[in-house]
Amino acid sequence: MAIKHFNHHEAISSAVPAEQGFEAVIAVKARREDAHPTFHKVATERHFDLASEAEEAADAALNRVTEIGDDDELLWDERAV
């Protein structure tokens, strides 16, 4: 799990249980008291048998996030690998 801080948001990468294995996700929460987290599935083309694999993919995706949009959407550095 990794945390990345932005001007008005925080983003956390993690693995969550899925029907058959785990999914890689990034949770985004605005820095307001009334804010609720938004969850984004990342690496959706892959199936992860282990939580550690999903978490590694989520961490890599979070490293590519350059900013969080007004509607909690992830903005990416498309050049990053």
Q: How far apart, in whole angstroms, are the C-alpha atoms of residue 15 and residue 76?
A: 20
Residue 7 has a pLDDT of: 93
For residue 79, the model assigns a pLDDT of 74
The H helix count followed by the E strand count for the chain is 1, 6
pLDDT of residue 60: 95
Print the domain residue range for 53.
2-76
pLDDT for the residue 28: 98
| CA atoms of 64 and 49, how far apart (whole Å) | 23
Q: Tell me, yes or no, whether 60 lies in a domain.
A: yes
64: CB partners within 8 A, 6+ apart: 76, 77, 80
8 in a domain, yes or no? Answer: yes
In the chain, how many domains are there?
1
**Could you tell me if residue 62 is inside a domain?**
yes
Tell me the CATH number at 58: 3.30.160
Q: Are 62 and 27 in contact (CB under 8 A)?
A: no
Is residue 43 left, alpha or beta, with left meaning phi > 0 and alpha meaning psi from -120 to 50? left
Q: Which residues of the chain have pLDDT under 70?
A: 80-81
Q: Are 66 and 55 in contact (CB under 8 A)?
A: no
pLDDT tens digits along 13-31: 999 999 889 999 999 999 9
